[in-house]
Structure 1
Amino acid sequence: MLLQAVAAFNARAYWDCHYLLEPLWLADRNPTRDFFKGLIQVAGGLYHVDRNNRAGAVSLLHKGPAYLRPFAPQCQGLDVAACRIQAAAVLEFVQAVPPALPLPALPDTLRPRL
C-alpha cells in the first residue's frame, strides 16, 4: 500500500495518496504512525494548493513536515529530509502570494517527490 501511495503522490494524485495512506495510519500503533500522518498532511497540503485553498495548504504544509521531523533523514525507504525541505519550499511559495490573489499554479520545480 505504501508503494501505491508513493506512486500516487509522485503522479500528483494527492487525494488518492491520502486515501491509500489513511488505513496504514489508522492501523499503526507504533511511532511510525506519525510518519504516515505527516505524509498524509503533506499530500493534503498539496491537494489544497492545487485547489486554491490557501488556509488548508498553509495549515497542512506546516503540520505535515513537523510530524515527519523525527523520521528524517529516511524512513521506510523514503527521503524524509528532502520531503520536508520540499514541503517548506511550497509553504513559502504559498505564503509569498498576497492573500487577495488566487494561488498561481505550483511550478513543477517546487513539486515534492517521494
Structure 2
Amino acid sequence: MELFNQGRFFECHEAWEEIWKRSDGAVKLFYQGLIQAAVAILHAQRGNLEGARSLYQKASARLDSIPYEHMGLAVGDLRVELSRFIEIACRADAGPLPAPPRLRRIRKSRA
C-alpha cells in the first residue's frame, strides 16, 4: 500500500504479485485488480493510453464486485479516483496528469 501511495507503481505491482500468486478465490481477484490498477496508472504516466484503458477495464472488472470497504481499505474510493484519473489521462486534450489515486485505510470510529 505504501508503494502504491508513493507512486511506485511498478514496485507495488511486483510486491502484490507475490501475494497474488499464493492466493485463491476472491482474494486472488482482489489483488489482481489492484495490480491491474497500478499498471493502468503506470501506463497512463508513460503515455501508453491504450494500455492504460485496457488495464483499467480489467482492474474495474475485478474491483467493481468488491465491497466499498474491503480488508480495511476504502476500495470504493479507489474505484472512483481511478476512474477519474484514467478519464482525464485518456482525453485527447489532456494536459498534465492529475495526482494518481491513493489507497486509503478505513478508519473505524470508536463508540
Quote the sequence identity (%).
31
What SS does structure 2 have at the residue aligned with 1:96? Answer: coil
- 1:19 corresponds to 2:14: yes
Tell me the amino acid that sits aligned with residue 101 of structure 2. Answer: P
Distance 1:27 1:35 in 2: 13
- TM-score, normalization by structure 2: 0.85
Return 27-36 or 13-22, whichever deviates more. Answer: 27-36
Tell me the amino acid that sits aligned with residue 112 of structure 1. Answer: P
The alpha-carbon deviation at position 96 of structure 1 amounts to 1.6
Distance 1:106 1:94 in 2: 6
Distance 1:106 1:72 in 2: 28
The answer on whether the counterparts of 1:41 and 1:64 sit within 8 Å (CA) in structure 2 is yes
Provide the residue aligned with 1:55 in structure 2: 50
What SS does structure 2 have at the residue aligned with 1:35? Answer: helix
The alpha-carbon deviation at position 94 of structure 1 amounts to 2.5
- 1:90 corresponds to 2:79: no
Structure with more of its chain in helix, by fraction: 1
- 1:80 corresponds to 2:75: yes
The answer on whether the counterparts of 1:46 and 1:57 sit within 8 Å (CA) in structure 2 is yes
The alpha-carbon deviation at position 72 of structure 1 amounts to 2.1
- TM-score, normalization by structure 1: 0.83
Tell me the amino acid that sits aligned with residue 98 of structure 2. Answer: P
String of CA shifts for 1:32-85, please: whole Å, max 9, x gaps: 111000000000001111111111111111211220112121111111101111
The answer on whether the counterparts of 2:85 and 2:98 sit within 8 Å (CA) in structure 1 is no
Query: RMSD of the TM alignment (CA)?
Result: 1.4
Provide the residue aligned with 1:3 in structure 2: none
Matched residues, number: 103
